[in-house]
Amino acid sequence: MSTTPRLEVRGVSKTYGAVTALDRVALDVRPGEVHALLGHNGAGKSTMVKVLAGVVRPDAGTVLVDGEEVAPRNPRQARAAGIALVDQELSLVGSLTVEENLALGAPRGSVPDAARLRDVLDRLGLAHVGLRAPVARLTLGEQQLVEIARALSRDARVLILDEPTATLSDAEIAMVFTAVRGMAAEGRSVIYVSHRLGEVLELCQRATVFRDGRAVGTRDVAELDRDSIVEMMLGHVPAGTERPARADDGAAPALRVTGLSVPPRLAGLDLEVRPGEIVGLAGQIGCGASEVLRALAGLEPEAEGRVEVAGRTLRPGRPLRSAAGGVRYTTADRKSDGLFLGHSIARNIVATRLPGCGTAGVLRPAAERRQLAALLELTGIPAARRRLPVGSLSGGNQQKVLVARSLQLEPCHLLLLDEPTRGVDVGGRADIHALVRRAADAGAAVVFASTELDEVLELSDTVVTMFGGRVVARHPRAGLSAARVLADTTHGAPGAAPTPREAVTVA
């Protein structure tokens, strides 16, 4: 293997006003290496990725590729230097074909021919996907691989994968892992950004950990375990936060659901949740858990069944009625459905409580400031950053803003959260879990959906496993094993099997 680093970063710094995002960072990535970038939310790794991808210009420092200095001022120049970013938020256009998406953003006259594109797709395990297939018909995992294929078709030497598995099922994650290993075997360098430490331990050779804008160390992954990585990220190993078993106090259900269906994705769900109880819906992507939450929030017009919240019947498909009945919902897609990324943190946090910030439709600044101060304190986001665009925050802090908007709203009888810690590091995840527990302790019934097994087992009082749009089982958290949840969510009820997905091919 060459002794010259494929990618080298020397003394890179970046500040935003009084905030130091990167402080004299040094980093090297070897040819054929899968190198992890780790750190808590706001530690600086996202800014580092943006510098390498040409999205952000550093204040100081140099970046070298194969020993030659590069200074990309935009993503196109970064790609010309051999650096390509596959962001955690997919940039594909669903109405276009695979071939058309692979051509997007390519300089005029540089689009590879169909034979070259076919070869790249085949090497990534997409031999069954036709070039003329509409991207909207692909699974999320296949779409993620198409994003990677677009970078490889332009001969990227350094490929940055930012949270590539955040929304994927286990089978789709396996596809991405196979592709990553194949790229490394070809001599390409892969920078792997992930909060899923198990993936890092399985896939990567080395890891660089960021903390407070600095690269605090680079270690061989073979020398690390989860606790040592967390200690490098946070400076300490956080105490366990598992929720104590909750005694049945005989209270009437805050939520009673009978025969809830969203044809054809969800069929006949029955569920009861008591005040203060946290119920985790566990399952793979597409199991129907997201549809449950959306239907309970009134966001599924085709939903059928009976829903009672705090003794009041709420007709499905009526989001305003659901909100008036004390139902609060947090989406899994903060970018498209949750936040106003171009607006300030302050505006985003108070967006759901404007009636309490004014009179006769006129905002009162003093009332708005009181609401804002309380929620900033709740999330731990510094008040000095309140005027920054929420899109400038790390993914974890964006998620805190999103969750906080649903808290301390009266009435709050039912709190619904879809993937509440998607793309959030271990420290930020503990903070969000604390916010959820606080809502439950205040008397709200909480129902959340998560594809992360650790989160389900850590946060829930009761676990409801789902498969193929149906409930498999309901388990008390006490004594529940990860193996039992995994068996339920990957195989379903006895005799059940997933419906084979039709191959997406176009002649």
Q: What is the pTM of this model?
A: 0.64
What gap in Å lies between CA 382 and CA 364, rounded to an integer? 22
Give the pLDDT of residue 494: 37
Expressed in angstroms, the distance from the first to the final Cα of the chain is: 41
Assign residue 108 the CATH number of its domain.
Answer: 3.40.50.300
How many Cβ atoms sit within 10 Å of the Cβ of residue 357? Answer: 18
**Per DSSP, which regions of 44-132 are E strands?**
60-65, 68-70, 83-86
Q: Do 187 and 140 belong together in one domain?
A: yes
- Domain end marker among 234, 268, 288: 234
Give the pLDDT of residue 506: 32
- Has residue 507 been placed in a domain? no
Give the pLDDT of residue 468: 82
Give the pLDDT of residue 492: 57
Half-sphere exposure at residue 504, Cβ-oriented, CA atoms within 13 angstroms: 17
3-class DSSP state of 307: strand
CA angle 393, 210, 332 (to 5 degrees): 40
What gap in Å lies between CA 141 and CA 176, rounded to an integer? 7
Contact 212, 43 (CB under 8 A): yes
Give the pLDDT of residue 179: 87
276 closest CA partner among 475, 410, 444: 444
Q: Do 214 and 267 belong together in one domain?
A: no
Q: Do 222 and 280 belong together in one domain?
A: no
Q: Do 322 and 211 belong together in one domain?
A: no
Structure tokens at 313: 């019947």
Q: Do 280 and 427 belong together in one domain?
A: yes
Per-residue pLDDT of the chain in tens (507 residues, 90 and over written 9): 457 899 999 999 999 887 789 999 999 999 999 999 998 767 888 899 999 999 999 999 999 999 999 989 898 899 889 999 988 777 899 899 999 999 887 777 777 889 989 988 988 888 899 999 999 998 877 888 898 888 888 878 999 998 888 767 777 788 889 889 998 999 999 999 987 888 899 999 999 999 989 999 999 999 998 888 888 887 765 554 455 556 556 778 999 999 999 988 899 999 999 999 999 999 877 789 999 999 999 999 999 999 999 999 998 899 999 989 999 999 888 877 778 888 888 888 888 777 777 777 777 888 878 888 878 887 777 888 888 888 888 777 888 888 888 876 778 899 999 999 877 777 778 888 988 999 999 999 999 999 878 889 999 999 999 988 899 999 999 888 887 887 788 665 433 433 333 333 332
Give the pLDDT of residue 490: 67
Q: Do 298 and 194 belong together in one domain?
A: no
- Has residue 69 been placed in a domain? yes
Give the pLDDT of residue 98: 95
CA angle 170, 174, 180 (to 5 degrees): 140
Concatenated DSSP letters of 361-414: TEE-HHHHHHHHHHHHHHHT--GGGTTSBGGGS-HHHHHHHHHHTTSS-SS-SE
Burial class (CB in 10 A: 0-12, 13-18, 19+), 89: middle
- Has residue 132 been placed in a domain? yes
Give the pLDDT of residue 501: 32
Segments forming the whole domain that contains residue 101: 7-234
Q: Do 228 and 265 belong together in one domain?
A: no
Q: Do 316 and 220 belong together in one domain?
A: no
- Has residue 364 been placed in a domain? no
- Has residue 212 been placed in a domain? yes
Structure tokens at 337: 């459905």
- Has residue 189 been placed in a domain? yes
Q: Do 81 and 144 belong together in one domain?
A: yes
What's the structural domain count of the chain?
A: 2
3-class DSSP state of 302: coil
- Has residue 366 been placed in a domain? no
- Domain end marker among 200, 234, 268: 234
- Domain end marker among 180, 204, 234: 234
Concatenated DSSP letters of 247-288: P---PPPSEEEEEEEETTTEEEEEEEE-TT-EEEEE--TTSS
Q: Do 219 and 316 belong together in one domain?
A: no
- Has residue 445 been placed in a domain? yes
Q: What is the CA radius of gyration of the chain?
A: 23
Q: Do 44 and 163 belong together in one domain?
A: yes
Give the pLDDT of residue 504: 35
Q: Do 321 and 469 belong together in one domain?
A: yes
